Structure 1
């Protein structure tokens, strides 16, 4: 059985530069709607939105310094919760441009927000709010991020704090009456 492979698999991570300006938000991933992602309604299937947001997360992990070498050390970031917001359809061949911002963080967790926009028109297609947890993969439980990653997340959080919190963040799910 084949495993899921992200577009960044095997690419390592970029070196961190404390003096470099941190984009707010990060724009690390672009892709095109694959024919494999299109469903019987003629647009991108709902599960494929999550696949693309996952690829955006992987680009973020590598920006942060989490790659195959880091994971070989028995640590990783896992997604513990995701909330997807679908706004517009995306058709086969259309360009997708993704962004990510760090909303909050503590010693073990990272709260991020993704946006997926049409690569040509900048129309918002979907958004995802995620809670990530740092995990000791051999113990199968959460653990603190190492100091160098906490330092980087602090810098990202500060850089992204200048952005307004998206209206979708923390919104309860349910039928409004």
Structure 2
């Protein structure tokens, strides 16, 4: 039985995101990944109403980004989110960013992989108390229902020179 997958998060590279090298600046890859995390939060019940009612939110406390390909202005991006696990007050996620073909009906090129990836560790935080707190059961169940196997690139570290 396969697990449900989150829908792709879609975004377009804006002119103000392009740097002096003519491609999307590194900060904006992370911004797009952040938007994808926000979408995950909304889909699992941690939306604006939840944050207002509970005073809790999810904070990224660690990340590892890999920039794999330059991205020009106007490029259409799709981000696939995976929940690798959630327990107590912690969640582990990945996002993979892909280029969307100009022709949406076109198949991606064979072997076309992600253009950027990020692995995240997030905590459920009580903002009033200023500390991490366990996810409510309903949110934890939604996150757990989305759990997928980790892609092969997860857990890599920066190599020494």
> 2:135 matched to 1:145?
yes
TM alignment of 1:10-25, pairs within 5 A: 23-24=4-5
TM alignment of 1:110-125, pairs within 5 A: 110-120=91-101, 121=108, 123-125=113-115
The TM-score normalised by the length of structure 2 is 0.88
For structure 2, the residue ranges without an aligned partner over 5 or more in a row are 102-107
Per-residue deviation, residues 45-91 of structure 1 (Å, max 9, x unmatched)? 00000000000001111111111111112111000011100100110
Q: Which moved more, 1:119-128 or 1:40-49?
A: 119-128
The TM-score normalised by the length of structure 1 is 0.80
Q: 1:99 aligns with which of 58, 70, 80?
A: 80
- Paired position in structure 2 for 1:89: 70
Q: Which runs of 4+ in 1 moved over 6 A?
A: none
SS in 2 for 1:52: helix
- Paired position in structure 2 for 1:136: 126
CA contact (8 A) 1:28 1:59 kept: no
- Paired position in structure 2 for 1:6: none
For these two proteins, the number of residue pairs brought into alignment is: 150
SS in 2 for 1:134: strand
SS in 2 for 1:27: coil
For structure 1, the residue ranges without an aligned partner over 5 or more in a row are 1-20
Distance 2:85 2:30 in 1: 21
Instruction: Please tell me the root mean square deviation across aligned C-alpha atoms, in Å.
Output: 1.5
Q: 2:22 aligns with which of 42, 48, 51?
A: 42
> 2:53 matched to 1:63?
no
